[in-house]
């Protein structure tokens, strides 16, 4: 999976949307105004550290079993210090990639979430850096 674009977070803007306290059925619609609880600011809900967070648009199918598809916009936090077990954006030989970072015993791997792709064992000969940890995604239907 490749990174197509990188966007900086605009933490100055705020968009508060209505948040309803009841679940919304997928069948027959019901009047929801009676259940209006509060507003939800998606920036505050999705982003823990605005100064260290970016959006990246991805391309490829190596992470489909993790629910990430081509065209998704990932929320990436660069301030998370323990990335093991998490999905990361990494620089691998000067190219961005998205994979799960796993440590087994003394070895470290980038693991795709699609059996079509091989695991990547990271060694001293591989130029590698964790750029950030994926904390969420945005998808437009």
Catalytic residues: 62, 99
What distance lies between CA 124 and its chain's CA centroid?
A: 27
Q: Which residue bears the tokens 């015993």?
A: 105
Task: Please name which of 67, 87, 68, 95 lies closest in space to residue 132, comparing C-alpha atoms.
Answer: 87
The C-alpha atoms of residue 51 and residue 61 are separated, in whole angstroms, by 29
For residue 140, the SS3 value is coil
Report CA dihedral (82, 3, 17, 40) to the nearest 10 degrees.
Answer: 0
Cβ contact 67:42 at 8 Å: no
Cβ(131)–Cβ(99) below 8 Å: no
């Amino acid at each position: 999976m490749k990174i197509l674009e990188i966007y900086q977070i605009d933490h100055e803007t705020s968009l508060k949307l209505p948040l309803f306290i009841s679940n919304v059925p997928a069948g027959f619609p019901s009047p929801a105004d009676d259940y209006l609880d509060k507003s939800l600011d998606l920036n505050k809900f999705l982003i823990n550290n605005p100064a260290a967070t970016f959006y990246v648009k991805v391309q490829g199918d190596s992470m489909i079993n993790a629910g990430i598809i081509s065209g998704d916009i990932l929320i990436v936090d660069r301030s998370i210090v323990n990335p093991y077990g998490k999905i990361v954006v990494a620089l691998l030989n000067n190219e961005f990639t998205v994979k799960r970072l796993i440590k087994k015993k003394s070895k470290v791997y980038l693991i795709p979430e699609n059996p079509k792709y091989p695991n990547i064992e990271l060694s001293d000969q591989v130029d590698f850096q964790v750029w950030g940890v994926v904390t969420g995604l945005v998808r437009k239907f």
